[in-house]
Amino acid sequence: MNLNPKKILVAGDFMLDVYTIGDVQRISPEAPVPVLRVSDESRRAGGAGNAILNLVSLGMEVVALGRVGVDEGGDHFVQALADEGVDVSSVMRDPSFQTPIKNRMIAAGQQLVRIDYETPSTLSSTLENEISAALPTLLKGVDMVAISDYAKGFLSPPLLCTLIEQARSYQIPVVVDPKGRDFTRYRGSTLIKPNLSEALTAAGLGFEATLDEVAHHILQEVGIETLMVTRSQEGISLFNGETRQDFPAQVHDLKDVTGAGDTVLAVVTAALANHMTLAEAAELANIAAGIAIERIGCARVSKSDLYTRSSVLNPK
């Protein structure tokens, strides 16, 4: 199988990731905290933007659907995606919203602290109606829809409902990286991929429930075809109907789990867009997650990375 270019619509919460890198040689005399002497700083598209960047690295054509504020963070975010060839015409600028910024302070490959600038706010009805009206045009020629929910307010229940229904009407599969306790917000999706903690919380069966019980409850309650649960060092478990498949983690050197979920979302979406089986998509995503957490920060996994480690792909 090959990962050929496909058109993917990514809808979700956008934010700016800032990496402040330096070294620590002493403790502050003002408080028992390390003093970071900064040597470099970089800005990257984060949140759903990280899934977009991974899709670009996999050779996909991406349309971004989300919102940023009318601020410097929003400017940096939009420019970062535009520089990668992403269609940013549907990134809404909301003057009442502050673009979320996550600043990670890093020394010697270790994250010391993360500083968040954010005020989640619900999408206004005006923007909600504007986006809903534009969906039929946005979805033309799209092979897959990926939803990356970070609970920052963009993916309102009415917008989610309209987006999923519209995609289904065009027979476009929808893959969701969910957030929160209520997975019924994503009813009608093709596949939902929570991590283990998110799945346990959403099922509401108590932490003594088995993973099979949790999966069965979510599949029935939400009305989806497939549930993919990422389980950190335990790998990925795939539930489709009464069938369960487990894919052990493949990690050579664990460094940073930041953004691994975005990597899985991107790879699963690209794989299914290329008509791979669910098992092939899960295996490929498992390998990609292993590569991502061997790197510092939100890493981008490329096709060449996957070709090196995966027997699923056969490069031409």
pLDDT in tens, 242-300: 899 999 876 555 554 555 788 899 999 999 999 999 999 998 988 888 776 666 555 67
- Whether 216 shows a pLDDT value over 90: the answer reads yes
Q: Choose, from 75, 149, 262, 305, the residue flagged as catalytic.
A: 262
- Whether 307 shows a pLDDT value over 90: the answer reads no
pTM over 0.95: no
Q: Which residues contact 258 (CB under 8 A, 6 or more apart)?
A: 104, 111, 297, 298
pLDDT mean over 189-202 = 95
Among candidate residues 239, 256, 212, the one with its CA nearest the CA of residue 111: 256
pLDDT mean over 303-316 = 68
The domain defined by 7-15+46-100+119-309 carries CATH number 3.40.1190.20:
yes
| Residues 234 and 243 sit within 8 Å (Cβ to Cβ) | no
pLDDT mean over 103-125 = 92
Strand partners, 37: 23
- Whether 6 shows a pLDDT value over 70: the answer reads yes
Work out the number of other CB atoms within 10 angstroms of the CB of residue 158. 13
Could you give the angle at which helices 260-273 and 48-57 cross, rounded to 10 degrees? 50
Q: Which stretch of DSSP H or E encloses residue 75? A: helix 72-82
pLDDT mean over 190-216 = 93
In the block, residue with structure tokens 């673009």: 99
- Whether 200 shows a pLDDT value over 90: the answer reads yes
- The pLDDT assigned to 241 comes to 83
| Residues 17 and 292 sit within 8 Å (Cβ to Cβ) | no
Ramachandran region, residue 275 (left: φ > 0; alpha: ψ -120 to 50; beta: rest): left
| Residues 82 and 88 sit within 8 Å (Cβ to Cβ) | yes
pLDDT mean over 230-252 = 84
Predicted confidence (pLDDT) per residue in 42-76, tens digit: 999 999 999 999 999 999 999 999 999 999 999 99
- The pLDDT assigned to 257 comes to 53
- The pLDDT assigned to 310 comes to 66
262 is catalytic: yes
SS3 category, 295: coil
- The pLDDT assigned to 211 comes to 95
Among candidate residues 24, 81, 91, the one with its CA nearest the CA of residue 50: 81
Predicted confidence (pLDDT) per residue in 74-109, tens digit: 999 999 999 999 999 999 999 999 999 999 999 988
Tokens of 46: 């984060």
- Whether 314 shows a pLDDT value over 70: the answer reads no
User: Order of strands across the sheet with 34-47?
Assistant: 34-47, 14-27, 101-107, 110-117
- The pLDDT assigned to 208 comes to 86
- Whether 195 shows a pLDDT value over 60: the answer reads yes
Predicted confidence (pLDDT) per residue in 10-45, tens digit: 999 999 999 999 999 999 999 999 999 999 999 999
- The pLDDT assigned to 77 comes to 97
